[in-house]
Amino acid sequence: MKQRQIDAYRQSEETLLKKFSLDRKEHFIPVNGHGTRVRVQETGSGDPLILIHGGPNAGSTWLDLASRLPSVRCLILDRPGCGLSGGYSYGGITLEKLEDLIVSVIDAVMDRFKLEKCNFLASSFGGYWAIRYALKRPEKINKMILEGAPALVEGSSLPPFMKSVGNPLLRWLIPKLPGSVSSSEKTMKEIGHGYSIERGRIADFFMEWYVSLWNNTDTIKNDFDLISKVVRKGQQNPEFVLHDHEIEKLGSRSLWLWGKDDAFAGSEVARRITGKMQHATLIEFDNSGHLPWLDNPGDHAGLIREFLSDT
C-alpha cells in the first residue's frame, strides 16, 4: 500500500470513529514464525473481548457494535492481509498450516495483552478462526459469540461473488476493479442484507468505509487469495470444511446470532449445529443477513452484554 492510500483508508476509519463517538488505541503485534504483524484496535474498558472479522473485510466492520459496548474492552483484530495488518501469502496453504497461523496470531494477541483466558466475538471466516482456535486451545476460551454462519461449515453454500473467486481470471481481475457504493450494496444484497439496504438501515458512511477498504488496502487481493484455496470450482474445499463432529467438541458457552436471510447457511443449518452442542444458545433474526449485527446493532449489543454478564 502506498502512503496516500493508507492515509485515505485511515480517513474513512476516522469518519466511523467520529460518527460512533468512539475513542480507540492502536496496537501492532508481531506474529512469530509468520513474518507479519497484525493490528488490533482497542476500545472500551472492562473484561476483554477479542473480535475477529470475516472476509473480505476488516476489523472496523465492528466499530458500531463496539461503540455500544463501552463496558467491554474490545480488542478488534485485522486478520493478516486485511485492513492495516501486514500481508500474508497463502500459497501452498494446508489446513495444518492455516491452523498454525490462526493459533499463532491469537496467541500473539493474548500474550500482548497478558490474557490467560478471553471471550470471543467472531463472524464468517472469523467464526471459522475462533472455532479452530477453540479446538486447539480450549483452555483459553471463556465464552464465544458467533455472528452469522461461520465459514465452511457443513451444508453451507456460496453466493455468486464468492464462487467467482474460483475462476483464476476473475480472481486476478476483480481486486483491480475500483470499488463503489453500488457494487458494495450489490454484494451486501447477495449475502442477505437486501431488506436493510433497501430501507437505508446500513449507513452511507459505513458503505463508503468499505469502498475505501476495497480501493486503498490489499484486503481484497489477500482475502481472495485465501478464498481461492478454501473454495474450489464453486464448492468448499473438503480439506478445510468445519464438520459438525468438530463443532460438537466446543465446551465453552456459546451464543449464536443468526440472520434468517444468511446466504451462506439458513435456519436449518443453524439449528442443526447448535442442537448438537451442550452449551449453545441460538437466536435468529428476521430480515437479517450474513453479518446480522449490521441490520440491528442495538439489539445485538444488548444480547451480547447480557450474555457476557450472565454468570
Question: What was the pLDDT predicted at 311?
Answer: 75
Mean pLDDT of the chain: 94
What share of the chain has pLDDT > 90, as a percent?
86
pLDDT in tens, 66-77: 999 999 999 999
226, pLDDT greater than 70: yes
pLDDT in tens, 88-130: 999 899 999 999 999 999 999 999 999 999 999 999 999 999 9
Residues 65, 63: Cα–Cα separation, whole Å: 5
What share of the chain has pLDDT > 70, as a percent?
95
Question: What was the pLDDT predicted at 173?
Answer: 66
Query: Model pTM?
Result: 0.96
pLDDT in tens, 127-165: 999 999 999 999 999 999 999 999 999 999 888 777 776
Residue bearing the bigger pLDDT, 179 or 257: 257
248, pLDDT greater than 70: yes
Written as nine digits, the cell of 59 is 476489523
Question: What was the pLDDT predicted at 101?
Answer: 98
259 CB contacts (<8 Å, ≥6 apart)? Answer: 148, 192, 284, 285, 288, 289, 290, 291, 292, 295
Question: What was the pLDDT predicted at 172?
Answer: 61
Lowest mean pLDDT among 12-26, 161-175, 190-204: 161-175
CB 292 within 8 A of CB 257: yes
Domains of the chain: 3-309 (3.40.50.1820)
pLDDT in tens, 261-292: 999 999 999 999 999 898 999 999 999 999 99
CB 42 within 8 A of CB 74: yes
Question: What was the pLDDT predicted at 202?
Answer: 96
36, pLDDT greater than 80: yes
| R_g (Cα) of the chain, nearest Å | 18
Residue type, 262: D
Pairing of strands 36-43, 253-259: unpaired
Give, in degrees to the nearest 5, the angle at Cα 49 between 1 and 268: 90
* Mean pLDDT confidence for 20-31: 97
